[in-house]
Amino acid sequence: MKPNYHYQDVAETYLFSNIAKKVSAYVAEHPDKNVFRLGIGDVTLPLAPAVIKAMHEAVDEMSKKETFKGYGPEQGYAFLRESIQAYYARRGIQLALDEIFVSDGAKSDCGNILDLFDTDNSVLVPDPVYPVYVDTNVMAGRKISYMQATAENGFLPMPDESLKADIIYICSPNNPTGASYNKTQLKAWVDFAIQNDSVILYDAAYECFVETDAVRSIFEIEGARNCAIELCSFSKTAGFTGTRCGYTIVPCELVRGGMSLRKMWLRRQTTKFNGVSYIVQKGAAAVFSEEGEKQIKENLAYYKENAKLIANCMDECGIAYTGGKNSPYIWLQCPSGMTSWEFFDYLLNEIQVVGTPGSGFGKNGEGFFRLTSFGSRETTLEACDRLKKLLKK
Ligand code: PLP
């Protein structure tokens, strides 16, 4: 028996465990001090009442012989796929029902979608970025090249003839930088992918934060149906991080080497996946009801206001950053040339504010720091106050 030796090549991620260790050591030494956490990438507001009601009703259906549900369709119940289809149609994007696949979240599909691609394919990933793209490909033994996301290009790298790849990852609005592509920029990526026969894996997990002219779906771009797969999630949109539901869109036109990727994905899902629970799908469908949409918008407005408070605080301190709009993340340059971890220690020791060191997201993250808007308003306000006192020149 030979194990998959590629797992030896997966870098250990000490990022969140190191943060947790440092914070608990600090708290143990300073039991009198409160710590203000602005580092979390998880939502904190509860599920919307419309979602809870729909899930309660679904549980009741499960309790009666007449309405009980066993295995559901692997691709997701039609009622949820129709709601997703209508959500895209309201934004002028036409999708066929059989192009929409309900999943248990974008993270799983990020990894699972790689079943469709040969391990010889080359991969292009932005640096810094959500680490799952890199690790899932390293596990499969694929060769990865990096596109450089830097302050100079506004953390939005553009196509480069010297960096052609079979699979291209784009995450917009981006985790961790909060930067988001506009239509012209994404059109350049779509043209590049078509020219080179590449497939774009477009992670739209944060599309619900878009407010300006940034793009919410790659399918807003002409030609994307020939070269892109979109991964999306209810996690940040509707607080489903613990409830688990997402969806992936594989257009009919996406054909490579004479094979339809949509048909392959359908085959993959029907073989390896038995669908998301009926109760959760009922909850997810309620996100698109009139009531649900209104309630979810209120939750998003709360996070967006937190993001604005942090962005304003950075403006007052004269610190350069991206994100804060179109994104729950504020990606800032560590002041005085500090490294990401030096700045982490400085904030923890001086003002008890916890963020995430940018170096944990890739080489280009060194010297940067991520703050998030998912905390409570009180925590955000107090942390901003403390940041201003410490950093304002
Ligand atoms: N994609 C990005 C860019 C993320 O930041 C996250 C979670 O933080 C995910 C996907 C995972 O989403 P899900 O909860 O749907 O698995």
pLDDT tens digits along 62-87: 999 999 999 999 999 999 999 999 99
In tens, the pLDDT along 238-274 reads 999 999 999 999 999 999 999 999 999 999 999 999 9
Pocket of ligand 1 contains residue 106 by CB under 6 Å? yes
Instruction: For a ligand 1 pocket test, name from 107, 202, 241 the mutation site with the most ligand atoms within 8 angstroms of its C-beta.
Output: 107
Distance 49 CA to ligand 1 centre (A): 23
CATH class of segment(s) 5-46+297-391: alpha beta
Averaged over 342-365, what is the pLDDT? 97
Q: At what angle do helices 290-317 and 49-62 cross, to 10 degrees?
A: 140
Q: What does DSSP assign to residue 224?
A: G
Confidence of residue 212 (pLDDT cuts 50, 70, 90): confident
Distance 175 CA to ligand 1 centre (A): 9
CA-108 nearest atom, ligand 1: 16
Confidence of residue 382 (pLDDT cuts 50, 70, 90): very high
Tell me, rounded to whole angstroms, the distance of Cα 390 from its chain centroid: 31
CA distances from residue 65 to 69, 70, 79 in whole angstroms, order as listed: 9, 11, 21
49-290 topology per CATH: Aspartate Aminotransferase; domain 2 (3.40.640)
Cα(first)–Cα(last) distance of the chain, in Å?
62
Residue 25, burial from CB neighbour count under 10 angstroms (0-12, 13-18, 19+): exposed
Distance 103 CA to ligand 1 centre (A): 12
Percent of the chain with pLDDT over 70: 100
Kindly list the domain boundaries of the chain, sorted by start residue.
5-46+297-391, 49-290
